[in-house]
Amino acid sequence: SKRIVIKVGTSTIMYPNGAINLQQMEKLAFVLSDLKNQGKEVILVSSGAIGVGLARMSLTKRPVTIPEQQAIASIGQTELMSLYSQFFYHYGHQIGQVLLTKDVTDFPVSRKNTVNTFEQLLIKHVIPIVNENDTVSVEELDHLTRFGDNDTLSAIVLELTDADLLVMLSDIDGFYDKNPMKHTDATRFDTITDITEDILALAQDSSTKFGTGGMITKLNAAQIVLKAKKHMILASGEDLSILFRILSGEHIGTLFS
Ligand code: ADP
């Protein structure tokens, strides 16, 4: 597979204390730039706008109101892209920001325009960096405008770009039969071929300090990916060189296929 989508969660690029993990951001830019040099077409879906915005504004927790959260996301998105831009530039690559809303799945014209933008960026050897457009997403749980989480968004991006593989990097190294953060006897699945009701039941919701989502949204993403007859790998983002191993064919984490 030549074209790949990589999704990183907030926990991959932020320290638990709420500060930006510059080592991880630089490593991500390094690994993706090198994969690009190997001839892969790389698309990054990055969370972290709110986390970075909070750090920038010296806040320790999310503001209560949605407009305040949107403002923090706006500040954080700018800072996030500024950092990515500098790190990718350092490794010789240009990035392009793509902010999406649910319009891309609801309106064929929006969809077509988005597909065209991705295509042109990739033709020009640019690395698209995607996030949800929080400014126009009216409310947190507004399913009319919001995907609500970047897990689902990254599966949509896989479809829009007709990539084969979605690599979802998380704070967990795969999908387990129970939440491994709470149960020491949890065992990891190597491969999942179908997202059944029984499988969904194994994904108790979780929420990190800054991120949203948890395992449910990852399974939702997997469902979209499987329906499109494509592949998804859920693996740990702790050591980002794992991407080299995954793309050289090593079976790491949980494969949804
Ligand atoms: P990210 O911020 O990387 O997107 P999340 O914190 O949203 O990651 O989701 C990963 C978390 O989901 C894990 O840290 C774990 O606590 C939780 N989780 C719940 N059920 C499971 C399961 N069955 N297998 C693995 N992780 C699970």
**pLDDT tens-digit readout, 156-199:** 999 999 999 999 999 999 999 998 888 899 999 999 999 999 99
Does position 32 have pLDDT exceeding 60, yes or no? yes
Distance in angstroms (rounded) separating the CA atoms of residues 251 and 191: 9
Give the residue-averaged pLDDT of 209-226: 81
Report the nearest-CA residue for atom 11 of ligand 1: 214
Round the CA-based radius of gyration of the chain to a whole number and report it: 17
Q: How far is the CA of 193 from the centre of ligand 1 (A)?
A: 19
**pLDDT tens-digit readout, 46-58:** 999 999 999 999 9
Average pLDDT, the chain: 92
- Which residue from 215, 216, 219, 232 has its CB within 8 A of the most atoms of ligand 1, so it is best to mutate? 215
The ipTM is 0.95
Distance in angstroms (rounded) separating the CA atoms of residues 52 and 69: 12
User: Which of 65-74, 119-128, 132-141, 189-198 comes out lowest in average pLDDT?
Assistant: 132-141
Q: Residue 172: CB within 6 Å of ligand 1?
A: yes
The band of 210, judged by pLDDT with boundaries at 50, 70 and 90, is very low
Does position 146 have pLDDT exceeding 90, yes or no? no
The residue type at 183: H
Distance in angstroms (rounded) separating the CA atoms of residues 112 and 97: 17
Distance in angstroms (rounded) separating the CA atoms of residues 129 and 118: 10
The edge-to-edge listing of strands for the beta sheet with 191-192 is: 95-100, 127-132, 41-46, 3-8, 165-170, 231-236, 254-256, 191-192
pTM: 0.94
What pLDDT does residue 76 have? 96
Q: Residue 51: CB within 6 Å of ligand 1?
A: no
Q: Residue 11: CB within 6 Å of ligand 1?
A: yes
What pLDDT does residue 203 have? 86
C-alpha dihedral, 49 to 51 to 57 to 60, nearest 10°: 160
